[in-house]
Amino acid sequence: MHQNLSVSQSIVTVRNLSLMRGEYLAVDNVSFELLSGTHTAIIGPNGAGKSTLIKSILGLVEAHSGKIRLFDGTGKQLTRLKQEVGYIPQKFPFERTFPLTVSELVGLGLNNKQWWYSSKRKRKKIAQALEQVHLTKQAQQKIGTLSGGELKRVLLAYCLVVPRRLLVLDEALAGVDATGELELAALLNNLKQEHNWTILEVSHDLDLVSRYCDSVICLNRRLLYQGSPSTTLTPENLLQVYGALVSPTSHHDEPSRIPESF
């Protein structure tokens, strides 16, 4: 774990970043910084460039211009540090008959050295990760038999099986049922507070964003607003971001409903 990291340490620095999707300018001159131990949400309408932006941070999309710095690492050091990044994509297409169990998929999250651990040691780590997402019973099930929400939980367990410095989620809670959504949001909150994980997520759930995130980035190709949920998620700002009236949240003043099991 990285509990000794200073809260002010920069995990991701984005400077004047522009990204193309084919001939189309998907992200235009965006700059921001993610500090360690913070939970940041990127919100915006469909086609705003949210997924493209996080993919570029992960090295999956090349920058048209501007710079991204991850962990201050370069070259071989960055390759090693990449093992400390967890990612849950928005879509996870695979064929239902893919011969892989839930347990095996979670085990792929172990870093390369750990994969050759004894079976007992490996099984223990996998079991712990599955327990955190309440999928212990499904451990030996084929991944093709899972529902969309269960699959998202398995992918979260894949990320939880080793300590991460950065967790990037692209609508990771979409498809999860209401109770599960709250549980997983609380789990993420715990990872941030207890283990100093930095979380960056794309979300459409403004209610959860306002409850659990420290910072919000409002994106519509350009970065329109950035700040704490209470100052950013105002009706005026949301009108500007979405181009329509959007209710920021109906639970702003309610106490957070973190289940006791977490």
- Residue 14: CA atoms inside 13 Å, Cβ hemisphere, count? 22
- CB contact set of 90 (below 8 Å; sequence gap of 6+): 51, 170, 171, 174, 202
Report the DSSP beta bridge partners of residue 202. 42, 170
Q: Which of 11, 105, 186, 187 binds other proteins (CB under 8 A)?
A: 105
Helix segments in 142-205, DSSP class H: 148-160, 178-195
Determine contact, residues 228/214, Cβ cutoff 8 Å. yes
Does 239 bind other proteins (CB under 8 A)? Our answer is no
Nearer to other proteins, 37 or 107 (CB): 107
Does 87 bind other proteins (CB under 8 A)? Our answer is yes
Nearer to other proteins, 125 or 211 (CB): 125
Q: Interface mask (CB under 8 A) for other proteins, residues 123-162, using x and -? A: -----------------x-x---------------x----
**Local structure of 30: helix, strand or coil:** strand
Nearer to other proteins, 55 or 153 (CB): 55
**Local structure of 202: helix, strand or coil:** strand
Does 107 bind other proteins (CB under 8 A)? Our answer is yes
Piece of the chain touching other proteins by CB under 8 A; list 4-12, 52-60, 216-224, 250-258: 52-60
CA atoms of 202 and 170, how far apart (whole Å): 5
How far apart are CB 172 and other proteins at their closest, in Å?
Answer: 13
Does 174 bind other proteins (CB under 8 A)? Our answer is no
Beta strands 65-70 and 10-21: pairing type?
antiparallel
The first and second tokens of residue 255, run together, are 């106490």
Q: Which of 15, 67, 80, 121 binds other proteins (CB under 8 A)?
A: 80
Does 83 bind other proteins (CB under 8 A)? Our answer is yes
Does 50 bind other proteins (CB under 8 A)? Our answer is no
CA atoms of 184 and 135, how far apart (whole Å): 12
Q: Which has the closest alpha carbon to 93: 143, 33, 58?
A: 143
CA atoms of 82 and 11, how far apart (whole Å): 12
How far apart are CB 79 and other proteins at their closest, in Å?
Answer: 5
Does 118 bind other proteins (CB under 8 A)? Our answer is no
Does 172 bind other proteins (CB under 8 A)? Our answer is no
Determine contact, residues 50/220, Cβ cutoff 8 Å. no
CA atoms of 21 and 23, how far apart (whole Å): 6
How far apart are CB 202 and other proteins at their closest, in Å?
Answer: 14
Does 29 bind other proteins (CB under 8 A)? Our answer is no
Gyration radius of the chain over CA positions: 18
Does 231 bind other proteins (CB under 8 A)? Our answer is no
Q: Which residues sit at the interface with other proteins, rule CB under 8 A?
A: 55, 58-60, 79-80, 82-83, 85, 87, 89, 92, 94-95, 97-101, 104-105, 107-108, 110, 112, 115, 140, 142, 158, 168
